Amino acid sequence: MIEIPFTKMHGLGNSYIYVDAFQNVLKEEWLAPLARAISNQNTGIGSDGLILIHPSDKAEVGMRIFNKDGSEGQSCGNGLRCVAAYAVKQGIVSTPRCRIETKAGLTQAKVFQSSGDVSTVKIDMGLPLLNRRSIPMLGEDDASVISESFPIGPHTLEVTALFLGNPHAVFFVDDINCAPLQEVGSIVTNDLRFPERVNVEFVEIINSKELNFRVWERGSGITEACGTGACAAVVASILNGFVLPDHEITVHLSGGDLTIRWAANGHVWMMGPAEFTAKGIFYWKV
């Protein structure tokens, strides 16, 4: 049996188990099965997945994300905020600003503290990629996917797709409470038109600066929040002319609110909370 120290954190209810690889080295072949074991709510701790916080030769800290099914993701907006908060609180970095390396590239983070505790974290999520090859999505490589007809079963929906930390397929609905999250999300995420699978988002436009949002995440299913998905939803809403560019947009997720801005320089900024839940030892039978 292996003893694995952990910290559990969440961003708007999107919870992960964090393992500090600055202090505890895990074998590569352990990571996928550990993610499945530790995420199980009945026999493990229970979470949306596992995030490894590790040294990086490109940034102050590195982050790897494993979904609850053991598959490895490229990035996680809520996870990035939590990693930044952890790095500051544990003294891995000595300033409130740091760079974080992910499979999707480098990001910039700034941690805001109140009375010594982390209150919010701001993340530069980088540039959204809009052509099919970058998402990836089958079709003409250089074409963008904006309000494109998307037949699925007996239905034909309209999808706006992009890459922002992860592949995203965004669908607009009139009422978020009637969004077919379970029915459509579980199918679209594995649709062959998305070779690397896709996060599926449903968005209701409230006004020019406010959205309602729900998500089905590849590898995890329905979650309380998805930071990269919320950013993708804002980009998709701007591309479709529903909300204002270069303004702060409030996105209402199941777990709470994020503030997103697609700035004039093309970068997407996300601001929201990062909260510590618990810490302890996970006893794992390899």
Catalytic sites, residue numbers: 76, 226
Distance between CA 53 and CA 202 in Å, rounded? 30
Q: List the one residue out of 196, 200, 285, 215 whose CA is nearest residue 254.
A: 215
Give the count of beta carbons closer than 10 Å to the beta carbon of residue 79. Answer: 30
Distance between CA 118 and CA 83 in Å, rounded? 12
For the chain, strand residue ranges (E) read 2-11, 14-20, 49-54, 61-67, 72-73, 97-102, 105-114, 117-126, 145-152, 155-163, 167-172, 199-207, 210-217, 221-222, 249-253, 256-262, 268-272, 275-284
Contact 222, 182 (CB under 8 A): yes
CA distances in angstroms from 190 to 20, 52, 198, 223, listed in the order given:
31, 25, 7, 17
Angle, CA 236 vertex, CA 230 and CA 241 arms, to 5°: 130
Token pair of 58 as six digits: 């490109």
What 3-state DSSP class applies to 205?
strand
